[in-house]
């Protein structure tokens, strides 16, 4: 173990600064790290100021102050994605719960930071809490550390090994290692060499995997994302005249896409509002359209079932080239506050000339468990009708790339109010189209007809379970050691 205190005692000393400054710096670094307008490199140090603060302070008041700072940091993060028509109150609906999920990682580390192997405690608890959040709560995977690497195609490849948990673990490990070096002014193998080696190996693996994917050719199929003119998202519902205009434009663009060679076509989420009394006629018309054009069509639309209060079915019809509906799907994970009927039907894939194709709707694919379901069905491609808003554009589409890499299937994300993209099983966006640009609302692309097998699709969340085992073992050993150190009272 190398001691470098001699190089720091004459200069910087963490005790010379008011601990509140570390909180302020932590709020700033965290705000610069996640979601839109983020700086990728900040992710590797964003938790360091918070960890230093916790190492310098004690007592419930300091922990309460820390929690309030954490809420402020995440409020600033969430504020970055707020834009019309999303209300500002949504900030606290996400920032407070995310802060609560992250809080145990910091507090448990601060309590046991001097124990053996405590260096791995912080990343282990953090990914366990992230996993609980995106597996069991409607918050999905927003705020997960791995997403901070959304622009780094090499590091994204690592989620094919251990999912989001593996990449998040490395990010948190680097953070706590840097904090430990600053706090203890000592460099050790676990705090320096090991995380550095693992980061190098992750980058090396990702670069090789991505480059090899480009070196090998594959059979492809032409797909297209077709945009809508509809801007409706609630009350008042569009008029019949407006609905007919939207339908005419959708059908015209779909024909154009088919004439351009597209064999699989997806509309945006909520491409059109169809009243229940008109739905039977509507379904017949889209079945005829798919059969006439000899295409597979994922026709996404909304059907209101009540207006006071507003309730609707956010769904798609999956129609094959013969005009048959293979299945109907209701959105499985409506966004918190969205008045949609929750779909509960089992996931299905359709065999399209040897390519197994599934589909989901927008927010559904912020949940790794749902993509995992399609991985278990052997999906080669997943169609994702979506609808975003300016604040989460393009990061929401970039998040979908993680699902593609995790399960090894392509993703066609057709997006209203955001970025449409065709994503390969390696997370590469081979085609992109922004609905905010002046275009014809048709995006063509070539996607592989076959997916690839990933380690994560086989072992699933085994890495998380390993971390749970580590946490339980660590806590058992820590409490046993404390009990041994307690003085034994002698009888009088």
Confidence of residue 187 (pLDDT cuts 50, 70, 90): confident
Handedness of CA 333, 335, 336, 342 (dihedral sign): negative
Confidence of residue 204 (pLDDT cuts 50, 70, 90): very high
* Burial of residue 152, with CB atoms counted within 10 A of its CB: 0-12 exposed, 13-18 middle, 19 or more buried: middle
What are the two backbone dihedrals, phi and then psi, of residue 279, each rounded to the nearest 5 degrees?
A: -65, -40
What are the pLDDT digits (tens) for 47-69?
999 999 999 999 999 999 999 99
What are the pLDDT digits (tens) for 455-487?
999 999 999 999 999 999 999 988 887 666 555
The answer to whether residue 370 scores a pLDDT higher than 70 is: yes
What are the two backbone dihedrals, phi and then psi, of residue 336, each rounded to the nearest 5 degrees?
A: -50, 125
Can you tell me the distance from the alpha carbon of 225 to that of 49, in angstroms, rounded to the nearest whole number?
44
Q: Which residues pair with 304 in a beta bridge?
A: 312
- Per-chain mean pLDDT for the chain: 93
Can you tell me the distance from the alpha carbon of 331 to that of 464, in angstroms, rounded to the nearest whole number?
27
Instruction: Give 134-195 as a 3 state SS string.
Output: HHHCCCCCCCCHHHHHCCCHHHHCCHHHHHHHHHHHHHHHHHHHHHHHHHHCEECHHHHHHH
What are the two backbone dihedrals, phi and then psi, of residue 467, each rounded to the nearest 5 degrees?
A: -70, -35
Reading across the β-sheet that carries 350-352, which strands appear in turn?
350-352, 355-359, 381-387, 410-416, 419-423, 429-434
Can you tell me the distance from the alpha carbon of 54 to that of 56, in angstroms, rounded to the nearest whole number?
5
Rounded (10°) CA dihedral 11, 13, 17, 21: 100
What are the pLDDT digits (tens) for 379-392?
999 999 999 999 99
- Percent of the chain past pLDDT 90, that is, above it, reads 85
Q: Which residues pair with 444 in a beta bridge?
A: 224
pLDDT of residue 484: 66
What are the pLDDT digits (tens) for 131-151?
999 999 999 999 999 999 999
Maximum distance among all Cα pairs of the chain, rounded to whole angstroms: 97
The answer to whether residue 203 scores a pLDDT higher than 70 is: yes
What are the pLDDT digits (tens) for 247-297?
999 999 999 999 999 999 999 999 999 999 999 999 999 999 999 999 999
């Amino acid at each position: 173990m190398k001691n470098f205190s001699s190089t720091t005692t004459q200069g910087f000393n963490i005790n010379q600064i008011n601990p509140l400054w570390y909180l302020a710096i932590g709020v700033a670094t965290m705000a610069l790290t996640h979601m839109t307008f983020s700086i990728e490199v900040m992710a590797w140090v964003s938790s360091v100021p918070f960890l230093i603060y916790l190492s310098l302070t004690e007592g419930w008041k300091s922990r309460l102050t820390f929690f309030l700072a954490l809420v402020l940091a995440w409020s600033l993060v969430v504020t970055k994605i707020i834009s019309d028509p999303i209300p500002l109150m949504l900030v606290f609906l996400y920032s407070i719960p995310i802060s609560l999920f992250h809080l145990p990682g910091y507090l448990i580390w601060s309590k046991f930071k001097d124990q053996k192997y405590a260096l791995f405690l912080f990343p282990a608890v953090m990914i366990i809490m992230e996993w609980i959040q995106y597996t069991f709560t409607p918050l999905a995977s927003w705020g997960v550390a791995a997403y901070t690497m959304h622009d780094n195609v090499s590091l994204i490849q690592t989620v094919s090994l251990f999912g989001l948990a593996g990449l998040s673990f490395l990010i948190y490990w680097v953070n706590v290692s840097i904090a430990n070096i600053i706090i203890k002014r000592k460099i050790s193998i676990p705090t320096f060499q090991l995380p550095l080696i693992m980061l190098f190996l992750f980058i090396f693996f990702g670069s090789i995997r991505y480059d090899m994917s480009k070196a090998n050719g594959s059979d492809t199929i032409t797909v297209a994302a077709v945009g809508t003119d509809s801007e409706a998202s609630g009350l008042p519902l569009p008029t019949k005249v407006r609905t007919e205009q939207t339908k005419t434009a959708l059908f015209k663009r779909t024909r154009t896409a088919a004439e351009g060679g597209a064999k699989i076509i997806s509309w945006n989420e909520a491409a059109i509002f169809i009243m229940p009394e008109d739905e039977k006629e509507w379904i017949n018309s889209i079945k005829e359209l798919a059969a006439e054009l000899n295409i597979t069509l994922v026709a996404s639309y909304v059907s209101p079932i009540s207006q006071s209060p507003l309730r609707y079915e956010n769904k798609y019809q999956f129609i094959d080239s013969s005009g048959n509906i293979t299945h109907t799907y209701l959105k499985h994970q409506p966004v918190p506050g969205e008045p949609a009927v929750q779909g509960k039907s089992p996931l299905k894939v359709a065999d399209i000339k040897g390519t197994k194709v599934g589909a989901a709707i927008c927010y559904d694919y912020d949940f790794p468990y749902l993509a995992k379901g399609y991985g278990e069905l052997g999906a080669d491609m997943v169609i994702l009708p979506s609808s975003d808003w300016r604040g989460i554009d393009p990061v929401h589409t970039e998040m979908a790339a993680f699902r593609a890499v995790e399960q090894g299937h392509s993703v066609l994300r057709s997006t209203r109010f955001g970025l449409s993209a065709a994503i390969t099983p390696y997370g590469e966006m081979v085609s992109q189209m922004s609905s905010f640009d002046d275009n014809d609302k048709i995006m063509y692309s070539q996607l592989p007809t076959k997916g690839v097998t990933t380690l994560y699709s086989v072992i699933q969340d085994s890495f998380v379970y390993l971390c749970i085992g580590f946490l339980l073992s660590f806590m058992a050993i820590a409490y046993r050691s404390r009990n041994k150190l307690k003085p034994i009272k002698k009888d009088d």
